[in-house]
Amino acid sequence: ACAPFRRLHLCDRNLEEIYPDKITNTNNLLVDVLLAAKYEGESIRNEYDQKKDDYKLGLCTALARSFADIGDIIRGKDLYRRDSRTDKLEENLKVIFGNI
């Protein structure tokens, strides 16, 4: 599958660190997803501040699209595979959703 360029640098740092046995309800999952969105937002803002003249889209548009990408990953609609980390994340999410 092809992916937009923005997906190549998606910061899913907190999503990778979710331990399925620690997620016992939707509130726990929401906290981890919000932290992932926070780190992604910080990453985009830093990148935007350094290269804003190169961006055709505004910061808010970049953030909105990135947060939509995170939502796709959580819902399992993300078809883009780049390495074994994404497979590990997918397996963890299956276990997490099985627990809640």
The vertex-70 CA angle with 68 and 36, nearest 5°, equals: 130
- Asked whether the predicted pLDDT for residue 50 surpasses 50, the reply is yes
Number of domains making up the chain: 1
pLDDT for 6-45, tens place per residue? 555 555 566 777 777 888 888 888 888 888 888 888 888 8
The pLDDT of residue 85 is 63
Angstrom distance (rounded) from CA 100 to CA 28: 10
Note down the domain range covering 48: 5-99
Q: What is the CATH number of the domain that holds 71?
A: 1.20.1310.20
Angstrom distance (rounded) from CA 47 to CA 44: 5
Q: Is 44 exposed, middle or buried (0-12, 13-18, 19+ CB in 10 A)?
A: buried
End-to-end CA distance of the chain: 30
